[in-house]
Chain A
């Protein structure tokens, strides 16, 4: 019933806009295989030769692999902590009935009102006192503690589960902890996957927290490390291209493969800081 519309202008504009996005990304990849001189002096010309040396240099000389490692540890560590903490909290609030339950659930919502930037001075001092400046684990702790959104979504899920499920497991003699991780957590896995997808974008691209706590070059995350090259393109344009490709293209490929699921997750979450 919708397909009868023509919408030529809209389709044209959409096509142009999307082509621009695709063009910029292809242009980035294409230029990453050209030498510095070639890009700087012969920007739109036909390249004389292909060069892979920048790809080798960023790993062998610049140690970009350490930056990738930092980003990966922060992503996996923060996600694990976030899911572990928030599913337990949500389970505690959602399944059991107790006094002050409302107060506790509102307490966990408060984090939505406080963007992490506002508390960064005390956070910085805590991290410093823990000796975690220049450590990826400091970033993991900070990002893993922002559990407001996951708690909200998971609490709703657990609260809506049929009560009989918990009671049946209880009658079978399962302990509280066993019921949680053998029965309830697996049922929640579709939501957990959605949460992982929504949260990982924010963690992977987080710029502010690592900027404050990571100062040594070899523990910096990918976005911070790239800054060194993009900040001085006359000197480093080849390395800026290569690191940008490494930071961008694999993730985009993953996104296009799983785009249905990713988009569905975002649509269902609908909450972002």
Chain B
């Protein structure tokens, strides 16, 4: 009897709060797979553990070890340096190109639909295939770039372009740019479409040239979009993994030359030959999660900017 009454009460209560039933399923799964892991990882970073046997609390020892052990710290610093390098290259080389391309397409130059589709298309190519396409061009034996060099008489330049020491990170950058350049370009085109047409006409009548309209009218008005793209590109650069792993393996190439933070983290947490197989450190999970937390702090800075922008956008 009592339980029936309780159930009826609960039912009534839910009828008065119908939103709970709509939010609950998403809330549960999102909490388990998106929020709890971050809390759990933070907790694990204070323990010494590799997932087998007992974990014992060590306080900040993992953090101290990461920043004072020479082997760990130098790997961390080297990987972080590569992340920063990729971000700066993105900022200096890709972002201006994206705005430039967006402006060309926005102003409907001849064939702009075709250009837009082709530039965006690599977005759909899976990372493994992207690297393979790079191999078809740059490889020592089957690469057509070398064939091309031979054809124009530059024999002495022929080499294994994918294996030149120190070049790996730039290959990763070029391939990633080829894939990603269209994404924010489309985003910029969308933002340019939102700009009122009259401004352009007024400037045109004032005699402002094609490029001066870009620099003096479009760019200042795109300020928020540019900030947003910079933030997205920062988060992307800090969490980059696929091509570095595919090209350099779990060690990130010779002397970790194309190592990045996520790869460093993967290597420590999941061992050197795949997930939970091969050689695992005795503190793999403790140290792995410590690196994840440090990465989280690195990303948090940018995320806060992004969150602020989004909340502002929502208010408008």
> Residues on A close to B: CB < 8 A?
1-3, 5, 7, 10-11, 14, 17-18, 21-22, 24-25, 27-28, 31, 39-40, 43-44, 81, 84-86, 88-89, 91-93, 95-96, 98, 104, 107-126, 141-142, 144-148, 151-152, 156, 176-177, 180, 201, 204-205, 207-208, 211-213, 215, 222-224, 226-227, 230, 233-234, 237, 240, 244, 247-248, 251-252, 255-256, 259, 262-263, 266-268, 270-273
Contacts and interface: CB of A to CB of B under 8 A. Distances in A.
User: Which of A92, A110, A211 has its CB near the most chain B CB atoms (within 10 A)?
Assistant: A92
Nearest to B288: A121
A25 B270 CA distance: 35
A12 to B, nearest CB: 12
A270 B300 contact: no
Nearest to B314: A156
**8 smallest beta-carbon distances between A and B, as pairs:** A119-B37, A267-B190, A92-B22, A145-B33, A85-B26, A113-B303, A89-B26, A122-B40
Nearest to A159: B314
A267 B307 contact: no
B109 A10 contact: yes
Contacts of B125: 205, 247-248, 252
A213 B29 contact: no
14 contacts: A18-B119, A28-B133, A31-B136, A88-B26, A117-B239, A121-B37, A144-B29, A205-B126, A211-B245, A212-B275, A256-B117, A266-B120, A266-B186, A270-B190
Contacts of B104: 7, 10, 14
Given A43-B142, A124-B275, A156-B314, A255 B23 contact: no
Interface of B: 17-23, 25-27, 29-30, 32-38, 40-41, 44, 51, 100-101, 104, 107-110, 113-129, 131-133, 135-137, 139, 141-142, 144, 147, 178, 183, 186-187, 189-190, 193, 200-201, 204, 210, 228, 232, 235-236, 239, 241-242, 245-246, 262, 265, 269-270, 274-277, 285, 288-289, 292-293, 295-296, 299-300, 303-304, 306-307, 310, 314
B30 A204 contact: no
